[in-house]
Every structure is written in structure tokens, then in C-alpha cells.
Structure 1
Amino acid sequence: MNDRKITVMLGLLPFIMVLGNSSLIPILPEIQQNLNLNDTQTSFILSAFSLPAALAIPFVGILSDRYGRRKLIVLSLILVILGSLIAGVSEIVGSQYSYSLLTVGRIIQGVGAAGTTPLAMALAGDLFSGDRRAKVLGILEVYNGIGKVIAPIIGAVIALIAWYALFFLFPLVAIIPLIGVTRYVKEEKQESTVSFSTYIKKLGKVLKREQRWLYPMFFLGGLCLFLLFGSLYYLSFLIEEKYGMDGFFKGTSFAIPLGAMTITSYWTGKRIKENKVMMKKLVVIGVTSLISMFFIMVFFHSLPFLMFCLTVALGGLGFLLPCINMLVTSSVREEERGFIVSIYGMVRFIGVALGPIIFENWMKDVELMFYNSLMLTIIAAVWLGLRTRIHAPSYQ
């Protein structure tokens, strides 16, 4: 097994997940105009991807524990490719059926995307151990961050050709990890002979056994993504409404704060190894960065302050997320890992989905919006501090 090639293949899986929605955001007005859609139909183009993915993630985790990660990743990527092609040809068949085909394609894409990020993390936990596992999990967050930076730019640039041309990019990206996983990952696990009901009871015992520290970790991980996408949604609104930037230029404005998160994620993944003392320090630094920056933004709302504070806050997320990923991935045995990591992935994805929706309502009072964000972060910090000292069990 070539570790470097495997790392690249795994890194492309969360990249595909991010690309699924973020690349469409700057071209939604063009899709709406070309297909003559109303606002509800347009917004459902995003929801048709997010909701099936969130609902499918736990089942993907359970199936991967029973039948193996490799099989589920291959199936997931095939679904991503199939859904993308259906969405891509939706414009060709004529306006009467275009929206229906686009929606069907997006749903299939979303179900396929459910097996990308969570299974990438679970497979990294299976294939690597110790320092290498921590580094690979950190690299996965780097790919995630890079995807968030460049996906809106990619969408805007490809839309210069045609809005539906973007959907033909997904198969080109997905085919690389599909070939790589098929070629380089040799799955030795045999299918489980344990009954499904027995397996579910066993997983319930795992959650009960580890609940003291897993639940606050899940909450903090989901909150990180909630604050990330909610803040970026507000930033997007602020830039467009007050400064008249849209499309490509709006996408590039996210590069500084998201770039900070990508850099700190990479550094953290390389440095934490299995050192729980360092993880604890970096979690404290990350949470402190979030609390201090949201406290400042309660009182100062101008674009320069916002850009500075979000850059520091997202840099803090870069310390937090790789540590949480490592702790969650290493906390359970291999046969339990797919389910636990998928639950964590589902919580993260719920955070991604709820962030823009809730921040849209909070934006009516910007001061209250940042105050609410501050309070949620403090609650997460207190819960984590009271329930755990980050002495999670470690299974190789």
C-alpha cells in the first residue's frame, strides 16, 4: 500500500462532499433564470443534496462496519457519478423535465456523498495508527478546507461555459478516488455474521460506554461547522449587500479566513500524533479563539473587524477539528468505527445545513447573532470541561 497515494485518495472524498453544495452557491441565480424556477425550487437544489446525505450517513456507517469500508466507498462514488450525470443532462432533455431530472440527480448525489467524508475518516482510522493516523486525519481537514475555499470559485468559473457543465466535473473528480481505493485498498474484513438486531444493540452499548466524552465532542464538532457555515453565510450577505461583490469575487473573499483554517489544520495534523496532552492544549486554544473573537464581534460589526475576527476564529477551528477527528476515530474498535464516525459525520453535516438557515434569522439583529454564537461556544466549552478531561480510550 502506498501511503501517499492512499492519503490523496482519501482526501478527495471530503473534497467531493464540499464541492457538492459550495460550488453551486454562486450559480444558483443562473440556474433559476434558465429553468424558470421560483425561490423555493431554487433553494431545494441545495436541500436535495444535503437532506439525503444527512439521513443516509448513519446507515452508511452501519453497513461499512458489517460489509467493509472499501465496498461502501466504491458504491458511494458510483452513486455520486451517476447522480452527477443525471443532473448534468437535465438541461439537454428540455425544460419540461429539466428540474425533475436535476432534483433526482441531486438526491442520488447526496446519498452517494454520505459515504465520502465519514468513511474517509473511518478508513483512515483502519489503515493507519499512531502518528500517521493523526497526520492523515489532519490532511483530510486540509482537503475539506481547500474545498471550501475553491469550490465557489470553481462553480463560478465553470458556469462561464454553462451552468450544467459543473455537474460533469463531479465524475472527473470522483473517478480518481474510485480507481485509487479499488487499486490500493485491500479489504481483508469478511462480512459480519452477527444479526442486524444484535449489531444495533452492540452499538447502543458502545454509545452508552463512551457517552461521557463522546457526546460533548460530537456537539463541539457539529457546533464548529455550524458556526463556520453560518458566519460565512453572513459574510457573503454583507459583501453582496454592502459592497456589491457577487459570484467569482465573492468566492475569493473567503480565501483568507478559510486559508487560515486550512493552514492550522495541516499543522495540527502533523504535530498532535497521539499526544493527548497536546490535543487538550490545542482544543483549549481553539475554543478560546472562538470565544474571544465572537465576543469582539458582539460589539464591532464592520467588514475589517469581521474579516480579522473570522480569520482568527477559523484558525482556531483548524486546531480544534483535527483533534476531535483523532479522538473520535481512535476511541472505538475497528468493528465499531464506521458507525461512531458516521454519527459524528452526521452531526457535522447537520451543523453545515443549519448554519445558514439559523444565521439568516439571526442576521436581523447582528449583535444578538454574535451573542448567540458566543453563548453556544461557551456552553460547548463548559460541557466538554465538565464531562471529560480528554482521556478517551485508544484503539489501534
Structure 2
Amino acid sequence: MDEKKTWDLISIASIPLVMTLGNSMLIPVLPIMEKKLAISPLQASMVITVYSVVAILFIPIAGFLSDRMGRKVIIIPSLIIAGLGGLLSGWAAWKMSHPYFMILAGRLLQGIGAAGAFPIVMPLIGDMFQRKSEVSAGLGFIETSNTFGKVLSPVLGAVLASLLWYIPFFSTPVFCLISALLVAFFVKTPKEKKAPKDFKSFKASIAWIFQTEGRWLYAIFSIGCISMFVLFGVLFHLSSVLENQYKIEGVMKGMILAIPLAALCITSYITGKAIGESKIVMKWIAFSGMLLLSGSILWISFSNGIYLLIFALSLSGIGIGGALPSLDALITQGFGKEERGTITSLYNSARFIGVALGPPVFAFLIKFSHKTLFFSVAGACIAAAILSLFAIKPPGKPPTKGTIFSTSVSKKERAR
């Protein structure tokens, strides 16, 4: 990969890093927010939930628009919207006497911005790189950046909140501005002279894709959802255990939470470099990752010791870190440019559903018992491992309507 492409990739990787920081940094701030705003834990959790829910709703729209209008045209305004949302939340917390609902309004804007930024990164990588091995390596780097944001978030959020509790809100527009400038100046997307589809043709091609290739697509969507469900659920659980049982708070808690995330981060980077172009390798790495995740979660169900918990969750991070870049590559390389944005955006919506469900489901199940929680989660992980055996496009599939459409357009252009 030449130096120019390296700078392209670094600029694109800033997007998931910024989006992750903008959300996950607030997790260690929530207990402080409860006291400062005199709100309940459920109300505090809405600061995270509203971000994820609105992103789920807007991600498919952003993906469709990026297929028609271009990736950068959607990404840069979305980063600006996310920054404005952080600015609104920070201003409300700083200046208003009762800022809760205005903070939620700012978080809603951030969710809309996130919907048009991070999910568009995957199809953008697919557009920019021609060689499949470069696409795989690029997606692995993106997952690494995303996970590094999760590693950094608890520590950075705790440090900033120790100065003033609302400073994490104000940090978001700064990060978003830097990322938008990097994308604007360094990312050059390929230009293709191709007539965009009308909505009716586009809708028909997407319906045809799911009709003919739904089995492996639904498998990948489900695995992505389950992976994020487990990741955010166990982090929420570990955070509660550290604070409630061991009285570990602030920066120290953030550093401990970073251990399994660091394992995920390193594994994502290595996997992206290793998988190359082989879809068979991607499939079996995804299967092995989900199998490791299942085993580690099942192991946790038999003991709730803190050292075992951290070690087993680190193994879980390795499993998820191996699976996600493989899934990203399978779905990104499976489609042409015209449908890639929409399909990968639907996949990212499924992942956001997992993010939104993880903490509340874990909080509900732990009320029954430690074993009930982790046996249930292990069952979901085993289902993901089984589904990973189907997470590959079968050979010899007929071309999608999108492919047929593209071919017909090319023939017309050549005739002219």
C-alpha cells in the first residue's frame, strides 16, 4: 500500500475512532450525571440509548444516500452534525438549570451524525481499494481504530470528567472537526461515470439480493448483532462489578475495562492483515472466534471471581476481534459499489441493535442469578458460532439485479 493510500486509510480510520469516543466516553460520566442532574439511573442510561436508537433508524437512509450521492458527501456533513450535537449537549449542561432534555436533544443529533459517518466507512474502503487483500487489511484497520476508541474512552472520559463533568460533551465537536478536515483533504474517492439508479430499480435490486442471498446475509447480520450485544453487555456488567463489589472507580476502573478491549483491538489488527482474499479463511476465522467467545462466556458462568472474569472476557475480546474483520470483509467484498453502501449500512444497523440491547438485557438477567445471565448469553454465542458456518456467499450464485443493471448501463455507454 503506497503512502497516499496510507494517509487515506488513517483519515478514514479517524471516523470510527471519533464516533466511538463521542459515545463511550460518557459511560464513566453517567453516575456523576445522575447526581448533578438529580435523575434516575434509567434516565441517565437514556443518554446512551437515544444515541443508538436514532442511529439504527437513520443508518439505512444514510447508506442509500451514499450509494446515490457519494460517500464523502454524506460523511462530512454527518461529522458536522455529530459535532453540533455534542456542542448542544455541552452548552445545555454548562448554562441551563434543567438541561436534561436538551442534553438528550444533542445526543439525538449525535446519533443522526453517527448514522451517516461510521457505517459509510466500510463501503468507502471497498470503493477505494481494488485488491481484495487490501480491502481486508483496510477493514481490519478500521475495526482496530473502532476498538481503540473503546479502549481509550473509559480512561479519557474519566480524566475529562474529573475536571468538569460536562467537558466530554465539548470534546466531541473538536474530534469531529479534526476528522472532517482529514477526510476532506486526504480522502480521494474514485469517480465513476455511471447513471444512478432510480429508487424503484434500486429497491428491486435490494429485494432481489435478499431473496437470492438472504441465507448468508442474515447469518452475518445476526453474528454482528450478537457480537456487539455480548461486548457491550459484558463491559456494562464488568463496570458494575468493579464499582459495586470492589469499589474501583474513575481512571482505575477505566484501565481495567480497557484490558479485554485491548485484546480485541490487537486481534482485529492482526486478523485484518492475515485473512487476505480467501473467503474460506474468513469464514473459519469467524467460526473460531465465535467458538472462543462461546467457551469463554460459558466458563464465566461457573465462577464470578474478578480475575477469572477479566481473563475470560479478554478471551472473548480475542474471539470478537477475530470475527468482526472477517465478517466486514465478507459483506463488503460480496457486492458491487451500487448496493454496497445500503447492504453494509443494514449490517451496521444490526450491530447497533446489539449495542442498544446489551446493557439492559444484562441488567435484567443478572437479577435472576450469575449463572442465568451467562448461560443465556453463552446460548446466544453458540447460535452465532453455528450461523458463522453459513456466513459466506455460496459459489456459483446468479448475478444480482444490481449487477445486471450495471452491465446494461455499461453497454449503453459503450454504444454511445
TM-score (norm 1): 0.94
Aligned amino acid, residue 201 of structure 2: T
Displacement of 1:280 = 2.8
Displacement of 1:383 = 3.2
Match runs of 1:232-311 below 5 Å: 232-311=235-314
Tell me, in whole angstroms, the C-alpha distance in 1 between the residues paired with 2:375 and 2:298. 7
Given the alignment of the two structures, is residue 210 of structure 1 paired with residue 207 of structure 2, yes or no? no
Aligned amino acid, residue 177 of structure 2: I
Judging changes above 3 Å, is the alpha-carbon distance between structure 1 residues 389 and 75 closer, same or farther for their aligned structure 2 residues? Answer: closer
3-state SS, counterpart of residue 88 of structure 2: helix
Counterpart contact for 2:289–2:322, Cα < 8 Å: yes
Judging changes above 3 Å, is the alpha-carbon distance between structure 1 residues 27 and 191 closer, same or farther for their aligned structure 2 residues? Answer: farther
Judging changes above 3 Å, is the alpha-carbon distance between structure 1 residues 291 and 193 closer, same or farther for their aligned structure 2 residues? Answer: closer
Tell me, in whole angstroms, the C-alpha distance in 2 between the residues paired with 1:273 and 1:171. 36
Question: Residues 342-384 of structure 1, C-alpha deviation per residue, up to 9 Å, x if partnerless?
Answer: 0000000110110111111111211111111111122222233
Judging changes above 3 Å, is the alpha-carbon distance between structure 1 residues 191 and 177 closer, same or farther for their aligned structure 2 residues? Answer: farther
> In the alignment, which of 374, 383, 387 is matched to residue 387 of structure 2?
383
Counterpart contact for 1:257–1:310, Cα < 8 Å: yes
Given the alignment of the two structures, is residue 370 of structure 1 paired with residue 371 of structure 2, yes or no? no
Query: Which residue of structure 2 lines up, in the alignment, with residue 71 of structure 1?
Result: 73
Match runs of 1:8-157 below 5 Å: 8-96=10-98, 98-129=99-130, 130-157=132-159
Judging changes above 3 Å, is the alpha-carbon distance between structure 1 residues 166 and 388 closer, same or farther for their aligned structure 2 residues? Answer: closer
Structure 2 unaligned segments of length 5 or more: list them: 404-416
> In the alignment, which of 174, 177, 184 is matched to residue 176 of structure 2?
174
Displacement of 1:247 = 2.3
Displacement of 1:293 = 1.2
Given the alignment of the two structures, is residue 356 of structure 1 paired with residue 344 of structure 2, yes or no? no
Displacement of 1:192 = 5.5
Displacement of 1:83 = 1.0
Judging changes above 3 Å, is the alpha-carbon distance between structure 1 residues 376 and 197 closer, same or farther for their aligned structure 2 residues? Answer: same
Tell me, in whole angstroms, the C-alpha distance in 1 between the residues paired with 2:208 and 2:221. 17
Counterpart contact for 1:219–1:347, Cα < 8 Å: yes
Tell me, in whole angstroms, the C-alpha distance in 1 between the residues paired with 2:176 and 2:306. 37
Judging changes above 3 Å, is the alpha-carbon distance between structure 1 residues 370 and 100 closer, same or farther for their aligned structure 2 residues? Answer: closer
Counterpart contact for 1:30–1:163, Cα < 8 Å: yes
Tell me, in whole angstroms, the C-alpha distance in 1 between the residues paired with 2:209 and 2:186. 31
Question: Residues 308-356 of structure 1, C-alpha deviation per residue, up to 9 Å, x if partnerless?
Answer: 1111121111111100000011111111000000000000011011011
Counterpart contact for 2:293–2:316, Cα < 8 Å: yes
Query: Which residue of structure 2 lines up, in the alignment, with residue 163 of structure 1?
Result: 165
Aligned amino acid, residue 200 of structure 1: K
Aligned length: 393
Displacement of 1:190 = 6.5
Counterpart contact for 2:18–2:175, Cα < 8 Å: yes
Query: Which residue of structure 1 lines up, in the alignment, with residue 339 of structure 2?
Result: 336
3-state SS, counterpart of residue 17 of structure 1: helix
Counterpart contact for 1:66–1:192, Cα < 8 Å: no
Tell me, in whole angstroms, the C-alpha distance in 2 between the residues paired with 1:189 and 1:56. 26
Counterpart contact for 1:68–1:190, Cα < 8 Å: no
Tell me, in whole angstroms, the C-alpha distance in 2 between the residues paired with 1:192 and 1:42. 47
CA-based RMSD:
2.0
Tell me, in whole angstroms, the C-alpha distance in 1 between the residues paired with 2:313 and 2:13. 25
Counterpart contact for 1:138–1:268, Cα < 8 Å: yes
Structure 1 unaligned segments of length 5 or more: list them: none
3-state SS, counterpart of residue 188 of structure 2: coil
Displacement of 1:390 = 5.5
Query: Which residue of structure 2 lines up, in the alignment, with residue 194 of structure 1?
Result: 197
Tell me, in whole angstroms, the C-alpha distance in 1 between the residues paired with 2:242 and 2:162. 22
Tell me, in whole angstroms, the C-alpha distance in 2 between the residues paired with 1:360 and 1:203. 37
Matched residues, percent identical? 36
Counterpart contact for 2:283–2:388, Cα < 8 Å: no
Displacement of 1:3 = 1.1
Judging changes above 3 Å, is the alpha-carbon distance between structure 1 residues 121 and 388 closer, same or farther for their aligned structure 2 residues? Answer: closer
Aligned amino acid, residue 155 of structure 1: G
